């Protein structure tokens, strides 16, 4: 199975600074915590883009794999801020 690569338009959804910040975060977190990133790097890149976009929208890296009725309210609760509860429990990010 092949997955479409993230495009420049996908990457343009977030600033380069936040993309770099989230790449550093996910790579460092996985190394320090013993968690695993997805073996298909493009899936991890889509995740990083979503995290960076949420930082710009609500100031927190909400998991982009979920739907939020109110992102700002969810950001206050932090249940789904990266690393979300599922990642901490299963040690694997989508």
Helices (H), 34-84: 41-58, 71-77
Among candidate residues 65, 82, 84, 93, the one labeled active-site is: 65
What is the distance between the alpha carbons of residues 11 and 7, in angstroms, rounded to a whole number? 6
Active site (annotated) includes residue 65: yes
What is the distance between the alpha carbons of residues 92 and 85, in angstroms, rounded to a whole number? 11
| Active-site residue list | 65
């Amino acid at each position: 199975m092949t997955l479409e690569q993230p495009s420049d338009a996908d990457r343009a959804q977030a600033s380069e600074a936040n993309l770099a910040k989230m790449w550093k975060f996910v790579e460092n977190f996985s190394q320090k915590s013993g968690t695993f990133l997805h073996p298909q790097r493009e899936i991890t890149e889509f995740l990083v883009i979503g995290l960076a976009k949420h930082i710009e929208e609500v100031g927190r890296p909400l998991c982009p794999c979920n739907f939020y009725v109110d992102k700002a309210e969810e950001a206050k609760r932090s249940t789904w801020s990266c690393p979300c509860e599922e990642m901490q429990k299963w040690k694997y990010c989508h």
